[in-house]
Each structure stands twice: as C-alpha cells, then as structure tokens.
Amino acid sequence: MKKITYSPSYTIVITYECFNYCTYCNFRINPQLGDWLKLTKAKKTLEEISNKSISEILILSGEIHPRSPERKLWLQNIYYLCEIALSMNFLPHINVGLLTYTEMKILQKVSISMGLMIEQSTPILLDNAHYNAPSKIPNLRLQHLEFAGKLQIPFTTGVLLNIGEKEKNSLDTLRKINLVEQQWNNIQEVILQPHSPEVEKKLHKSIFNQYQLVKFINKAKNILPASIKLQLPPNLIQDPNYLLRCVQAGIQDLGGISPKDEINPNYSHFSKEKLSKILKTKKLTLTTRLPIYSNYKNRLSENLQKLVNFWQRNKKST
C-alpha cells in the first residue's frame, strides 16, 4: 500500500506579536506586555507531553522587527526553548519568520530543521494583502531560502493560495523554489496551502475550489523534483473525498498534526484514526515520519544525529 506521511507534533508559540499586518492573518496580535511565552511554562508543557509519541516540537513565532531592541532576547528564547526540547528528546523544528544568516547559523546548532513559507513571490501582493508587511517582500523571502541552502539546513517552504495572486504567480513561485533546490538540495517539503479565511465574507473571497486545487497539485508535481515531498494541511480540506482527490493528484505528506493549528485555529484536525480510515478507502496507509528525512540527516551535528537515530529506532506507524 502507498504510504502517506505525517509528523506527530506539538506547537509551542513564542509570541503572537508580529510587525507585519497581512490582511488575511488569523495569527498575529498587537504587542502587549507579558505576551511572550515563559520558558518555565514551555518546559512544563513539554514534560506533560513527553510520553505521547510526539517527536516534533514546532517552535512558532510572530515576526519581531529586525531592529527591535527585543530581538536579541527573542532569539535567545528560541535557542533556549530548543535546548530544553532537545534535553527531553524532542526534535525542534523552527518557523519564526525571516532570520539573518547569522541567526540561522546560531539556531542550526539546536534545531533539526527549519521552515518559512515563501507564500508568493509576486510583488503585486505588496499593493494589497502585503501592503503593510515589510518582511513579505519576495526577494527577502527568497534570500531566506538561499541562507538555508548555504547552511545546508533541512528546510520546509511553501505557497499560500488565494490571497490575491493569479495561478501563474503561484507556478512562478514554485519555479523559484525549484531554482534554490537545484543549487543547494536542502528543501525537504513544499506546502501547498489554500488560504481558509476565518470569516469568508469579510475578505469577499471564496475558498480555493476543489477543481483549482487538484489541478494546481498536478502542475506543482511537474515543476518540483521528486525529491521534494508535496504537503497539504488536511484540516483545511474538511471534505474527505476532496482530501482523497488531492492525495491522488500528488500530495504525499500531511504535515505536522498537533492538537491545535495555531495559524488556522478554527480549522480542527481530523483525528489520526479518522485520517487513517479515510486513506484506507483508497488503499493508502497513514504513517509517521520525523521532521527530518533520512537523506538529510548527515547534515546535522553528531549530537543531533544521535537523537534522530534514537527516534528512527523507536518510530511507530499509525
């Protein structure tokens, strides 16, 4: 039976504060006193989930302004949280927005993999959806991918669909991702994520329809190399038959499945049991994976490789 993978994960948010104001965002809040996560609270949370077969700790954050006086403390908190997670045998995956080359090199020491959505590489969104989002300038996002490539960081990126772009823009974004992959060979996964607004009427947009998405997955498969896994968040596809059509079109991975989707909090995940049952109707098997694929493991430090080896020996199927 063909295997469809997912990562048993848990998300810890450093802060929901963000200096971007994207029109579609369901995540950010304005800066407020006491918003940042306390590391003691994070450690307690990790202790509570330590025996639940969770391998990946997704460390998520809103973006702190690059010239903010709090940026150094923010980076330290991410680093220390990774250290705590590693000490408890978890595998940290970092997705905290744009980082400098130096910041990525620092965090590389304590993380298994990293991620950043390109979203869209077309500048037309700077006139609407990204009008007040300085870190969404396409060249900055692509530069982040280049930094990850130069540092040989196992990486996840992706496109966000239905935020004001045309299909040709999305396909062009995939081609640019492919160019980075051809040079550095470090991109593990590309997420194809349809934007699912919390209040659809507010944006005067319809959710990406089934025909569009299935067609787009087929085109993505022809642009990106087979070494990159195509990923789709299953909670954004609530119709089981629609989800199956996406998988049959080329989706190979369902991403990190955690108790709550912090980016799309109103879109709950199916249980792993239900997902498995849906996939079995088409003779597909749901199976776990780690936040790093085996062929990227040798890019990690010796200590991080040992921890990955531990999880590979103890990895369980759904």
Q: Chunk the chain into consecutive blocks of 10 residues (it has 318) and report each block's average pLDDT, rounded to whole numbers.
A: 94 96 91 84 96 94 95 97 98 98 98 98 96 97 98 98 95 98 98 76 51 94 97 93 96 94 89 95 96 96 96 70
Q: What is the 3-state secondary structure (H, E, C) of the chain?
A: CEEEEEEEEEEEECCCECCCECCCCCCCECCCCCCCCCHHHHHHHHHHCCCCCCCEEEEECCCCCCCCCCHHHHHHHHHHHHHHHHHCCCEEEEECCCCCHHHHHHHHCCCCEEECCCECCCHHHHHCCCCECHHHCHHHHHHHHHHHHHCCCCEEEEEEECCCCCHHHHHHHHHHHHHHHHHHCCEEEEEEEECCCCCHHHHCCCCCCHHHHHHHHHHHHHHCCCCCEEECCHHHCCCHHHHHHHHHHCCCEEEEECCCCCCCCCCCCCCHHHHHHHHHCCCEEEEECCCCCHHHHHHCCHHHHHHHHHHHHHCCCC
pLDDT given for residue 315 in this prediction: 67
Domains of the chain from N-terminus onward: 2-307 (3.20.20.70)
pLDDT given for residue 198 in this prediction: 58
pLDDT given for residue 317 in this prediction: 44
pLDDT given for residue 27 in this prediction: 92
pLDDT given for residue 21 in this prediction: 95
Q: What is the model's pTM?
A: 0.95
From the annotation, which residues make up the binding site for [4Fe-4S] cluster? 18, 22, 25
From the annotation, which residues make up the binding site? 18, 22, 25
